[in-house]
Amino acid sequence: MSSGSALRALTRVTTHCLVVVILSLTGFVAGGASAQVQTDVPPPVEGAGRAVIERIRIHSPAIEGNLEGNSADRDVLVVLPPSYRSSPSRRYPVVYALHGYSIGAEQWIKEIHVPQVVEGAFAKGVPEMIVVLPDSKTVHNGSMYSTSVTTGDFEDFVARDLVGYIDSHYRTIPDRRSRGLVGHSMGGYGAARIGFRHPDVFGALYIMSPCCMQARPGGGALTPQMLASIGTLKPGDDMSKVPFPVRGLLAMASAWSPDPASPPLYLDVPYDKADKPIDAVFDRWSANSIFNILETSVPNLKRYAAIAMDVGDQDTLRTDTQALHERMLAYGIPNDFELYQGTHTSRVAFRWQDHVLPFFGKHLNFAPPGPPAGPVAANDRGSGPYPAVMEVDPSLPRHVIYRPENLAPLKQKKLPIYIWGNGACTDDGASVKGHLLEIASHGYLVIAPGYVGDELKRVQAARGPRAEGAPLTVATSVKDLRDGLDWAIAQNSRPGSKYRGLLDTRAVAASGFSCGGVQAIDLASSDPRVTALIVQNSGLFPDGTARLPGMDTPKSALARLRTPVLYIMGGPTDIAWANGRDDFARINKVPAAMVALPTGHGGTYFDPHGGAAAAIAVDWLEWQLRGDKTAARSFLGDNCRLCTVPGWSIERKGF
């Protein structure tokens, strides 16, 4: 019998009374009102360093627009190791940890006693790493870490949006081999589900007491009266008053049998009015069974450096957990399994300190990243909600364009324009491709001077090397930036243009790296169409000093700026540091901010999605060009988001 047939047979003989599985997720008995449980805690380890918990909020495009109304702005706890603030050049692996049903991240850290167990593990010799705990509660108390139009795509929230944000805002090692995924109970199901599907993101996997493996109710106290009550529920009801068994069933149904044509809850319950199982609905649940997902994930799982799972000997989930271990072995997938002495939650803090973190300490890659192998990560299309492409338009042959691939969703929002100046004033229009794709993926038209591919090779070969004694020249100038802006504004009104009516010509930003940053200052100080400016790893040379061609804009240009300006610098080791700081000191007619990252002159252009600097640039653009007050919080206030990142600094004036 196939696993799908076996599951259908199981449905016909099981009662439809609630999910003991879900009740055991949280370690409390049926009828309990609170999901918080008391757990045993290891004794503190003498001499352990202090970890720091940062509480942040991450916007997830993957969760946007869900029918249930779950917020796309998710609370996330980031546990930074003791050395993070004192070692500003050090990078760390990251372990992503998923909580169980009916609790959020704040409750879970009390059950697993974070940060104490993290500090204890490091004090016992586990190499330091960052631990990230996202909150994935929903209207019905749990997302099942699944993909659903009703709940939102919590799978991609974890695997894409969360990982992308953490890599862009913290000193991580942005490599799958340096990322671990772990979860307990519903989070164990989530770790299995996401881990099985995303070996391109994670390199080691630990599954703790996973629930819901067969994607089936398993008995309990769901009565016919409770089932009947589901038909009376509507959005806005106080779901905390709904019987817990009903909420558990609704959580599964909203994740695994969503139905956009079935308001007001937008889900299909797997029982009819006579309380009989509906096979067609349960067949949809079967697709979410970890055992069925395993059958199509075998090649994925063989990519992991290591996989482990554990469960307590008094846990009702032990049978399915051991069955998963044995089935994986049968498929030739190495994995470790331990049946330890304890209940569903009693020893979970000990497991974290003495097993989970040591597992990742052994199997994750802690080596710092080497030099970038190319100008962009493979298949990088930006982390924003509009996957971006790079192209050359025949009507603008001396420039490279980056834009959202699908322009249709932006008809109402419209695209601001981002004009870029290349580092070294080069005519390589893809020299910082990752940064420019990232900006474009947030709904911007990005234009950089230069060429790509064979045309770039042809142009550079025709130019040849500089003859000995010949004056220095540069391949691009501020005129190229202005030409790109002229073209974009003309396209907005040109009949037949794919950009006709799609561009916000009153929202124009100039930006650039190094020599290109000087070009951006020149453009912003001389062209009133520019309404935002970002200068990256750059600054004007002092008057009276020898200047390179293309970088001879005088300091007096700063007095002509009409728009707020952001400097993103690489700290004291950045060769442009002194020039940029002098610029910042001189600017007194417009608001100005200077953010320093400990990167040197090279910035984060070659990190995935353009790294931290690109994320900062996006927030500035969203604030300055779209008036986004949430993005403004990165820069404003004593506790601004950038103010709280260890190793970074921000100075502001005029706001």
Give me the phi and psi of 535, to 5 degrees please: -110, 120
pLDDT of residue 193: 96
Show Cβ contacts of residue 545 under 8 Å, excluding neighbours closer than 6 positions: none
Closest CA to 525 of 503, 514, 540: 540
pLDDT of residue 543: 83
Give start and end residues of each alpha helix (H) in 587-649: 611-626, 629-632
pLDDT of residue 274: 74
The average pLDDT across 55-67 equals 93
pLDDT, mean over the chain: 88
- Fold classification of 388-460+470-653 is Rossmann fold (3.40.50)
Spatial distance between the Cα atoms of 447 and 440, rounded to a whole number of angstroms: 10
The average pLDDT across 547-556 equals 78
Domain boundaries, the chain: 3-363, 388-460+470-653
pLDDT of residue 97: 98
Spatial distance between the Cα atoms of 191 and 155, rounded to a whole number of angstroms: 10
Q: Tokens at residue 433, please?
A: 């491709």
Domain 3-363, CATH among 3.90.480.20, 3.50.50.60, 3.40.50.1820, 3.30.230.70:
3.40.50.1820
pLDDT of residue 427: 93
What secondary structure letter does DSSP report for 456?
A: H
Please report which confidence band the pLDDT of residue 26 belongs to, taking 50, 70 and 90 as the band edges: very low
Q: Does the pLDDT at position 640 exceed 90?
A: no
- Residue 618, SS3? helix
Number of other CB atoms surrounding residue 337 within 10 Å: 17
Please report which confidence band the pLDDT of residue 36 belongs to, taking 50, 70 and 90 as the band edges: low
pLDDT of residue 53: 96
Spatial distance between the Cα atoms of 27 and 38, rounded to a whole number of angstroms: 9
Number of other CB atoms surrounding residue 99 within 10 Å: 31
pTM: 0.59
Closest CA to 139 of 67, 68, 233: 68
CB 245 within 8 A of CB 137: no
pLDDT of residue 561: 96
Give me the phi and psi of 510, to 5 degrees please: -110, 140
pLDDT of residue 6: 35
Please report which confidence band the pLDDT of residue 207 belongs to, taking 50, 70 and 90 as the band edges: very high
Render pLDDT for 424-458 as a digit per residue (tens, 0 to 9).
899 999 999 999 999 999 999 999 999 998 999 99
pLDDT of residue 90: 86
The average pLDDT across 610-623 equals 95
- Percent of the chain at pLDDT above 70? 90
pLDDT of residue 222: 64
Q: Check for a shared fold between 3-363 and 388-460+470-653.
A: yes
